[in-house]
Amino acid sequence: EAISLAAKEILGIDSIENAEDFLKAGGDSLKILAFLVALTKQGYALSLADFVAAQTKEDIIASVKPLEKEENVRYENEAVAEKLKKEGLEYDSFYPAGPMQESILYYCSINEKKSVYNTLVILRALRAIDKTRFAQAAQLMIEKYDAFRTIFRFYKDGNFAVVRKNSICPIQCVESDLTIAEFASDLSRKGFDPKDNSFRMLLVTASDGEFVLYNVHHAVSDGISVFNAISYFIDCYLRLEKGETFESLKKKIVRNDGFDYYSFLHGLGKSDDAKAADLFRREFEGFEGGDIIHPSRKPDNDDYGKIDFALTEEVDRKLRDFCQKNECTLKQVCDAVWAIVLSKYTYTEDVAFGEVVSGREESAEGIEKAVGLFINTVPMRLSVRADKTVKDLLKEIKEKSISHLPYLTYPISKLIRLIGDNAISTIVNYEDNDGKKYGIGADLFEQEYLFDNSNFDLEFEITGKGRLAFDLRYNGSVYSEEDMRLLGDRILRVFESIAT
């Protein structure tokens, strides 16, 4: 019954007989994760590996277990505690930095740009924002989620995340003669020193309107976390606006909604890294790398850039029809498009890129609402031979995506050491949400801009909710805007070719 309800919720169908049946009914790797979360909500746990291996409905049923809530694990280390005490640092907890955090902190340390791994969301106010309520709602959000009070310490015996007892995050109301784009660009360049602070929130009255700026270091938060946190901030603001007091809302806070991040990291330590390493080592055997899109023009500047593109309604409709007829998903088509474009630009039939995954596939209670760093990047190597059809390429993508599912939390830093530093030079990030409006029904904010750069010089980011749109995020010290506009136009033509 739970399996049928989950299938109904995720795919709108009454039942599934096996994993392959789930895929043919319109499922993909993202929907598999949503399916597992739907089971969790009903009190059951099913592992990715068991689901992927399931040949019959009976196999699935046999693998489903009652969800057992594990006790939170608290990390203790007297030597580290003594160091923090000498520093006079008041903290709630500390723990060894997780594998994804280690990866990001490492890339930040070797990148000269302070803006790397810096997430900045700009929300345009659709009506006047009260400064006191803004500051109170932001403070409630910071107190609720440990991520915003997390800083890092780097010792000889390891790197540690420290959750401060009290917030030192800047919450500011600022007036500026600059446009919001100019103000945000200056703010982004400041970046963060993760030893001191990882988050800031500002209410800015700029020359072109009133805006809220949500700025966070990627080592403590991913994209889904941004939406979770901002949604809570909006809810608090609206409650304050309706007359609830700051103190009454503070008393209602359930820290992290009961989700414990260190316990999640502790659980990752039980995953089978050896099998993951063996899989990716075999997949990349003989790969020569070098799939770099070389610039044809002189770069414009040393800043990060972002250019938006969108399919026409007609192409979008035809593309979705193509997916339905060929039992594939938009995400898989986007992977195919990028592989084709990468092959043409690099003059090779053997290409590879990184795929961004949510990292929330574990059946941990409350993980879908959690705020923290879960995101990871998984490598995808594909053959784009001249004699291969788009359908052949889509079949390869589907097979590899499924084989990767049990190993989505294997850290990118370990992967790079396995497959080589130059194996991946671009990443693809597919999101099935638009996130354009916050405070729906309240007419409070509209997303003006979301900027989230990484250590990669080029990112292909797609939004599949509504009419399919994508943006190219690039390192301005490597690529020019003209190069990126030309690349975007060529991507559009490949989408059109597949659709028609």
Per the domain annotation, does 368 fall within a domain? yes
> Is residue 448 situated within a structural domain?
no
Final residue in a domain of this structure, among 250, 266, 282: 266
Looking at the 3D structure of the chain, how many domains does it have? 3
137 falls within a domain = yes
pLDDT digits (tens, 9 = 90+) for 181-238: 999 989 988 888 899 999 999 999 999 999 999 999 999 999 889 989 999 999 999 9
The mean per-residue pLDDT over the stretch 152-159 comes to 91
> Within a domain: residue 449?
no
- Across 250-256, average pLDDT: 94
Last residue of a domain, one of 242, 266, 290: 266
Q: What is the pTM of this model?
A: 0.81
Burial 148-165 (b: 16+ CB within 10 A, else e): bbbbbbeeeeebbbbbbe
How many residues belong to the chain? Answer: 500
pLDDT at 143: 95
Q: Kindly report the CATH number assigned to the domain that includes residue 280.
A: 3.30.559.30
Residue 402 has pLDDT above 70, yes or no: yes
Instruction: From 135, 242, 147, select the one nearest 194 (Cα to Cα).
Output: 147
Which tokens is 61 given? 């049923």
Does a structural domain hold residue 10?
A: yes
Residue 422 — pLDDT band, cuts 50, 70, 90?
confident
Domain CATH number, residue 11: 1.10.1200
Residue 237 shares a structural domain with residue 307: no
pLDDT category at 271 given cuts 50, 70, 90 is low
Tell me, letter by letter, the H, E, C secondary structure of the chain: CHHHHHHHHHHCCCCCCCHHHHHHCCCCHHHHHHHHHHHHHCCEECCHHHHHHCCCHHHHHHHCEECCCCCCCCCCCHHHHHHHHHHCCCEEEEEECCHHHHHHHHHHHHCCCCCCCEEEEEEEECCCCCHHHHHHHHHHHHHHCHHHHEEEEEECCEEEEEEECCCCCCEEEEECCCCHHHHHHHHHHHCCCCCCCCEEEEEEEECCEEEEEEEEECCCCCHHHHHHHHHHHHHHHHHHHCCCCHHHHHHCCCHHHHCCHHHHHHHHCCCCHHHHHHHHHHHCCCCCCCCCCCCCCCCCCCCEEEEEEECCHHHHHHHHHHHHHCCCCHHHHHHHHHHHHHHHHHCCCEEEEEEEECCCCCCCCCHHHCCCCCCEEEEEEEECCCCCCHHHHHHHHHHHHHHHHHHCCCCHHHHHHHHCCCCCCEEEEEECCCCCEECCCCCCEEEEEEEECCCCCEEEEEECCCCCEEEEEEECCCCCHHHHHHHHHHHHHHHHHHHC
Please check whether residue 175 lies inside any domain of the structure. Answer: yes
pLDDT-derived band at 363 (thresholds 50, 70, 90) equals low
Residue 380 shares a structural domain with residue 494 = yes
Q: With beta carbons less than 8 A apart as the criterion, state whether 250 and 136 touch.
A: no
Nearest CA among 365, 371, 312 for reference residue 149: 371
For residue 44, what pLDDT is reported? 86
pLDDT at 417: 82
Residues 495 and 477 in one domain: yes
Give mean pLDDT, residues 261-275.
78
71 is a domain residue: no
How many Å separate Cα 374 from the centre of its chain? 7
What is the residue-averaged pLDDT of the chain? Answer: 87
Q: Which residue has the higher pLDDT, 268 or 425?
A: 425
How is residue 49 written in tokens?
């590996």
Q: What is the CA radius of gyration of the chain?
A: 23
- Averaged pLDDT, 118-136: 94
| Domain CATH number, residue 208 | 3.30.559.10
Alpha carbons 397 and 395: distance in angstroms, whole number: 5
Q: Are residues 213 and 307 in the same domain?
A: no
Question: Do residue 315 and residue 176 come from a single domain?
Answer: no
**Residue 172 tokens, joined:** 């500011």
pLDDT of the residue at 297? 77
Is the per-residue pLDDT at 123 higher than 90?
A: yes
pLDDT at 432 over 80: no
Q: CB of 470 within 8 A of CB of 462? A: yes
Residue 395 and residue 402 in contact, taking contact as beta carbons nearer than 8 Å? no
Q: What is the pLDDT of residue 30?
A: 65
C-alpha distances (whole Å) from 94 to each of 141, 188, 360 are 20, 28, 22
Q: Cα angle at 468 between 297 and 121, to 5 degrees?
A: 70
Q: Are 21 and 99 within one domain?
A: no
Q: Look-up: residue for tokens 């770069």?
A: 299
Looking at the fold, whether 56 and 94 belong to one and the same domain comes out as no
Answer with the one of 16, 36, 66 that is the final residue of a domain.
66
Where do we find the tokens 């929907």? 31
Task: Output 36 or 280, whichever has higher pLDDT.
Answer: 280
Asked if residue 159 and residue 306 are part of one domain, the reply reads no
What pairing do the DSSP bridges indicate for beta strands 469-475 and 304-310? antiparallel
Q: Is 254 in the same domain as 275? A: no
Could you list the residue range(s) of the whole structural domain that residue 307 is in?
271-441+454-499
**14-28, 261-275, 346-360, 452-466: range with highest mean pLDDT:** 346-360
Cα-based angle 251, 257, 258 (whole degrees, multiple of 5): 105
367 domain-assigned: yes
- Which of these ranges, 98-102, 106-110, 474-478, has the smallest mean pLDDT? 106-110
Same domain for 83 and 59: no
Could you tell me if 62 and 121 lie in one domain?
A: no
Q: Judge if 57 and 155 occupy the same domain.
A: no
Answer whether residue 17 shows pLDDT above 70. yes
pLDDT of residue 116: 76
pLDDT tier for residue 269 given thresholds of 50, 70 and 90: low
84 sits in the region (left: phi over 0; alpha: psi -120 to 50; else beta) called alpha
